[in-house]
Amino acid sequence: MSYPEKFEGIAIQSHEDWKNPKKTKYDPKPFYDHDVDIKIEACGVCGSDIHCAAGHWGNKKMPLVVGHEIVGKVVKLGTNSNSGLRIGQRVGVGAQVFSCLECDRCKSDNEPYCTKFVTTYSQPYEDGYVSQGGYANYVRVHEHFVVPIPENIPSHLAAPLLCGGLTVFSPLIRNGCGPGKKVGIVGFGGIGSMGTLISKAMGAETYVISRSSRKREDAMKMGADHYIATLEEGDWGEKYFDTFDLIVVCASSLTDIDFDIMPKAMKVGGRIVSISIPEQHEMLTLKPYGLKAVSISYSALGSIKELKQLLELVSENDIKIWVETLPVGEAGVHEAFERMEKGDVRYRFTLVDYDKEFPN
């Protein structure tokens, strides 16, 4: 298959005007022996895209194509490829596109914690090339970070699993989510909704913990066993004393999370794991005395092994996450950004119609 020497994407031009990206041509990174080129057909819109585009995580080199929940077809394989991938195969790429693959962390399926971690967009490789993401016609990545998509998962539903779904699945599977466990999901947005569906599929008794009752009906439709509206419960930690084995904090901000109340609801040895990456100025505050045999930790993106496990779980249980689709393009990305900033999405966006916007 022939394709252009330059890739083309819907690129952020400046942090100040981040909601108005423009169609832009750019050079792909050099093609190495273990790289894969993928023609993109769908890409999820993640909260990280907003944070990065708007400059919440500091200034990034512009123009910048964001998007790291990529689904597409393999169109080129490196000369030393040993991944088993095939030309024409439908595959996915998440939020990581490189690590050293040689350190102890990489060899123990902890690639996201490698010191040479490269995100799918906005981060320079060792050769200086700044990675570009999935609001584009093609993406070029190391084959290790490319995974096959099961046939029974539609592309628009598969895309959000590749970052958001994986990010919540990793702390669930690493901390014993399963039958006989009581698991709380704090924050019922895009990632929290997926966490609810995944926790239930893993067999845990699942509690959605949100500020108000506004999303109660949706949470119960997704299979939640219980719903806690914290602003209406008062000291909910006392009410649910000694309940939880695990709580995963999926909220986009930690400002409204009371870490002095939450530990009261934990069992001895219980674990609170945050996956939140808030704006740079936010700080976590808590009184150490209140922890009492409860641990609080942070979880980054999951590993490639975990991503394959997640896709298998979703495929076998026919999990259907809640997704709205928008056509990729300047107008579609603008609408996604506008609506996500307002919280007007149930519960993830996936950009589609790539063949119309990028015919080549």
Give the 3-state DSSP-derived string for the chain, with helices as H, strands as E and coil as C: CCCCCCEEEEEECCCCCCCCCEEEEECCCCCCCCEEEEEEEEEEECHHHHHHHHCCCCCCCCCECCCCCEEEEEEEECCCCCCCCCCCCEEEECCEEECCCCCHHHHCCCHHHCCCCEECCCCECCCCCECCCCCECEEEEEHHHEEECCCCCCHHHHHHHHCHHHHHHHHHHHCCCCCCCEEEEECCCHHHHHHHHHHHHCCCEEEEEECCCCCHHHHHHCCCCEEEEHHHHCCHHHHCCCCEEEEEECCCCCCCCCCCCHHHHEEEEEEEEECCCCCCCCCCCCCHHHCCCCEEEECCCCCHHHHHHHHHHHHHHCCCCCEEEEECCHHHHHHHHHHHHHCCCCCEEEEECHHHHCCC
pLDDT for the residue 172: 98
The architecture in CATH of the region 7-163+321-357 reads Alpha-Beta Complex (3.90)
CATH topology of domain 165-298: Rossmann fold (3.40.50)
Q: Distance between CA atoms of 295 and 270, rounded to whole angstroms? A: 7
Instruction: Identify the pLDDT of residue 1.
Output: 55
What whole-number distance in Å separates Cα of residue 267 and Cα of residue 240? 10
Question: What does the pLDDT read at residue 2?
Answer: 63
Query: pLDDT tens digits for 135-182?
Result: 999 999 999 999 999 999 999 999 999 999 999 999 999 999 999 999
pLDDT of residue 217: 98
- Give the per-residue pLDDT at 260: 84
Q: Which residues of the chain carry a pLDDT beneath 70?
A: 1-3, 278-280, 289-290
Query: What pLDDT score was predicted for residue 285?
Result: 72
Residue-level pLDDT at 226: 98
Q: 24: part of which helix (H) or strand (E)?
A: strand 22-26
List the chain domain ranges.
7-163+321-357, 165-298
Phi, psi of 15 (to 5 degrees): -65, -35
- DSSP secondary structure code for residue 136 in this structure: B
pTM above 0.85, yes or no: yes
